[in-house]
């Protein structure tokens, strides 16, 4: 392909498979020129294009100009940037040369239906081109360097980067322990602090890599089957890899974040029921931090830098959002706003602080509008009267070195369905001896059914009594996202 001017003749035979799968009356995709009508004047080198394709499964289409057509592979995980990792490349039919400029929507019901955008384009040098080996050097904006493609069978190939990574790449961690907030008060001075609203949901770390999403609770339980709408984040980010920290939130009838409403989705395992609940109780992921982005760990960076990186992702969709970070308003006013809106409170974050996994060091402080306490269930009592044979109250504790400190019992805040569900969870955990460090009163011991202290719940309460018990507790729900060792007494 030498010379300043070249024409690319589309060979009809090479596009037979392509055209057989597409109806030009139904799809805007180019069908290919039928004669020598496409002229190249800018470069002596052949071109390449990588298109991001939001079809049934997100993937990237890698296309190399060759003999008048675009020889094409589908890359489910995109172009590898690290030579230590090969990516699958599915060899597909040749595409017409003018497909290299195509962006648009392939209609539903058509082959490859979905949105197509150009991820990168440029020119390339050919090092080798054989039936079982294609080696090229890409000259693009986002994609550059030497790559080789080789088949593993008739259809599936692999693509390997032969050059070192374009820059130092940090490996994405498999799991990160979330940074935690201490219960406290508003700082005396607002300078150096950022204020975020506290959302009444479930903490989640979301890992996105080439559109694929994993999400886990604080105690590393997967959330993907429970909240399949989290996959929308991967579609939004496309090729960008990221670890996001945030909260999964559901709204009550007053459009306020409600943990009690969210609990209706936490224990469901039926796919059919989950699909129904997606419509009746939609959940959203509220992202408030980014720990890893595009091959680089951000955890050592200050809050302000991480926040700027998070906002650059424009995470605002039907099932995900980026709530505000407030730095130009007095903390007392932000707390008042949260109270007026019926929110749980605020979280105050030191703007110069790094992200400290698993730490509760005081760089993050939570200030609540009402008191809540995570508790470990140590037993239960039977109901009386109309609740005879059902759950009456839960016996609650907070872990200490030798077992559980008894902090009282809760008998309100349960629906009939919740009482039934809790009994189903508690009965298999039955034990004869008390899990509490100090003996209960004789009356409570006589009525109690003790259980292995493995379930964590949350209550709302008025205050701590002088003897360390919860005054007027009301049940909010099980915390399946947390383990007993994570429960601490809130100040």
From 309, 334, 369, give the residue that closes a domain: 369
The Cα 217–Cα 483 span in angstroms is 10
267 plus 300 within the same structural domain: yes
Closest CA to 175 of 215, 213, 233: 215
From 95, 126, 161, give the residue that closes a domain: 161
Q: How confident is the model at residue 42 (pLDDT cuts 50, 70, 90)?
A: low
Q: Is 255 among the domain residues?
A: yes
From 312, 334, 369, give the residue that closes a domain: 369
- The distance from CA 446 to its chain's CA centroid, rounded to whole angstroms, is 47
Q: How confident is the model at residue 490 (pLDDT cuts 50, 70, 90)?
A: confident
The Cα 112–Cα 250 span in angstroms is 34
249 plus 380 within the same structural domain: no
Determine the average pLDDT of the residues in 316-345.
Answer: 94
pLDDT higher than threshold 60 for residue 73 = yes
130 plus 235 within the same structural domain: no
Instruction: Give the least confident one: 31-35, 75-79, 204-208, 331-335.
Output: 31-35
Q: Is 167 among the domain residues?
A: no
Please provide residue 127's backbone torsions phi and psi, each rounded to the nearest 5 degrees.
Answer: -95, -45
What was the pLDDT predicted at 173?
A: 93
What was the pLDDT predicted at 168?
A: 82
Determine the average pLDDT of the residues in 170-184.
Answer: 92
Q: Which domain holds residue 142?
A: 6-161
Higher pLDDT, 36 or 351: 351
Q: Which two tokens stand for residue 426?
A: 């508690």
354 plus 385 within the same structural domain: no
The Cα 79–Cα 77 span in angstroms is 7
What was the pLDDT predicted at 260?
A: 87
pLDDT higher than threshold 70 for residue 21 = yes
What was the pLDDT predicted at 7?
A: 45
Q: How far apart are the first and last CA of the chain?
A: 75
Q: Is 30 among the domain residues?
A: yes
414 plus 283 within the same structural domain: no
**Residue of 14, 40, 77, 198 marked active site:** 198
What was the pLDDT predicted at 171?
A: 87
359 plus 392 within the same structural domain: no
For 437-481, how does the pLDDT look when each residue is reduced to its tens digit (9 = 90+)?
Answer: 988 877 676 778 999 999 999 999 988 998 889 999 999 999 988
For 114-142, how does the pLDDT look when each residue is reduced to its tens digit (9 = 90+)?
Answer: 999 999 999 999 999 999 999 999 999 99
Q: Could you give the percent of the chain with pLDDT greater than 70? A: 94
213 plus 284 within the same structural domain: yes
Determine the average pLDDT of the residues in 392-398.
Answer: 95
- In CATH, what number is assigned to the domain containing residue 208? 3.30.470.30
For 347-375, how does the pLDDT look when each residue is reduced to its tens digit (9 = 90+)?
Answer: 999 999 999 999 988 899 999 998 899 99
The model's pTM: 0.79
Q: Could you give the percent of the chain with pLDDT greater than 90? A: 73
Q: Which two tokens stand for residue 401?
A: 């070195």
297 plus 431 within the same structural domain: no
60 plus 16 within the same structural domain: yes
| Mean pLDDT, the chain, whole residue set | 90
Q: How confident is the model at residue 413 (pLDDT cuts 50, 70, 90)?
A: very high
Q: How confident is the model at residue 281 (pLDDT cuts 50, 70, 90)?
A: very high
Q: Is 172 among the domain residues?
A: no
> Number of structural domains, the chain?
3
- In CATH, what number is assigned to the domain containing residue 449? 2.40.50.140
pLDDT higher than threshold 70 for residue 216 = yes
Q: Is 105 among the domain residues?
A: yes
Q: Is 177 among the domain residues?
A: no
Q: Is 93 among the domain residues?
A: yes
108 labelled catalytic: no
Q: Is 197 among the domain residues?
A: yes
Contact 147, 166 (CB under 8 A): no
Contact 412, 260 (CB under 8 A): no
The Cα 309–Cα 186 span in angstroms is 26
The Cα 276–Cα 282 span in angstroms is 10
Q: What is the largest CA-CA distance in the chain?
A: 98
16 plus 72 within the same structural domain: yes
200 plus 311 within the same structural domain: yes
pLDDT higher than threshold 60 for residue 35 = no
349 plus 390 within the same structural domain: no
Beta-strand pair 69-75/87-96: antiparallel
What was the pLDDT predicted at 23?
A: 94
The CA-based angle 124-130-135, given to 5 degrees, is 35
Determine the average pLDDT of the residues in 291-310.
Answer: 97
What was the pLDDT predicted at 148?
A: 98
């Amino acid at each position: 392909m030498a010379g300043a001017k070249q024409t690319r003749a589309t060979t009809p035979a090479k596009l037979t498979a392509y055209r057989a799968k597409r109806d030009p009356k139904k799809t805007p995709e180019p069908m290919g020129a039928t004669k020598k009508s496409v002229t190249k004047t800018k470069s002596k080198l052949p071109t390449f294009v990588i298109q991001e394709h939001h079809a049934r499964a997100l993937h990237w289409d890698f296309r190399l100009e060759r003999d008048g057509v675009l020889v094409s592979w589908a890359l489910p995980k995109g172009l590898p940037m690290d030579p230590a990792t090969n990516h699958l490349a599915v060899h597909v039919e040749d595409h017409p040369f003018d497909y290299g400029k195509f962006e648009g929507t392939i209609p539903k019901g058509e082959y490859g239906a979905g949105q197509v955008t150009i991820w990168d384009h440029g020119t390339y040098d050919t090092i080798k081109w054989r039936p079982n080996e294609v080696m090229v050097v890409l000259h693009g904006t986002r994609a550059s360097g030497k790559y080789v493609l080789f088949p593993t069978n008739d259809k599936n190939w692999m693509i390997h980067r032969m050059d070192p990574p374009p820059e130092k790449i940090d490996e994405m961690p498999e799991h990160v322990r979330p940074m935690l907030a201490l219960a406290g008060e508003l700082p005396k001075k607002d300078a150096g602090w950022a204020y975020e609203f506290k959302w009444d949901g479930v903490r989640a770390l979301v890992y996105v890599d080439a559109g694929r999403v994993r999400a886990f609770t604080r105690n590393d339980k997967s959330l993907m089957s429970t909240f399949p709408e989290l996959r929308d984040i991967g579609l939004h980010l496309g090729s960008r890899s990221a670890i996001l920290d945030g909260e999964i939130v559901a709204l009550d009838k007053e459009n306020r974040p409600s943990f009690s409403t969210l609990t209706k989705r936490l224990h469901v395992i039926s796919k059919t029921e989950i699909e129904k609940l997606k419509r009746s109780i939609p959940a959203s992921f509220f992202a408030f931090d980014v720990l890893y982005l595009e091959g680089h760990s951000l955890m050592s960076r200050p809050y302000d830098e991480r926040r700027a990186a998070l906002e650059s992702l424009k995470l605002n969709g039907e099932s995900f959002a980026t709530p505000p970070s407030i730095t130009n308003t007095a903390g007392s006013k932000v707390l008042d706003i949260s109270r007026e809106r019926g929110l749980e409170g605020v979280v105050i974050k030191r703007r110069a602080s790094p992200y400290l996994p698993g730490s509760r060091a005081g760089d993050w402080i939570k200030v609540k509008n009402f008191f809540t306490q995570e508790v470990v269930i140590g037993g239960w009592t039977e109901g009386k009267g109309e609740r005879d044979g059902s759950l009456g109250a839960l016996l609650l504790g907070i872990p200490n070195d030798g077992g559980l400190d008894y902090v009282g019992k809760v008998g309100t805040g349960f629906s009939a369905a919740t009482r039934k569900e809790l009994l189903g969870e508690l009965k298999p955990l039955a034990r004869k001896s008390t899990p509490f460090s100090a003996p209960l009163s004789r009356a409570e011991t006589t009525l109690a059914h003790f259980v292995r202290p493995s379930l964590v719940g949350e209550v709302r309460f008025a205050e701590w009594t002088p003897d360390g018990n919860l005054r007027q507790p009301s049940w909010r729900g099980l915390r399946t996202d947390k383990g007993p060792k994570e429960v601490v007494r809130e100040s």
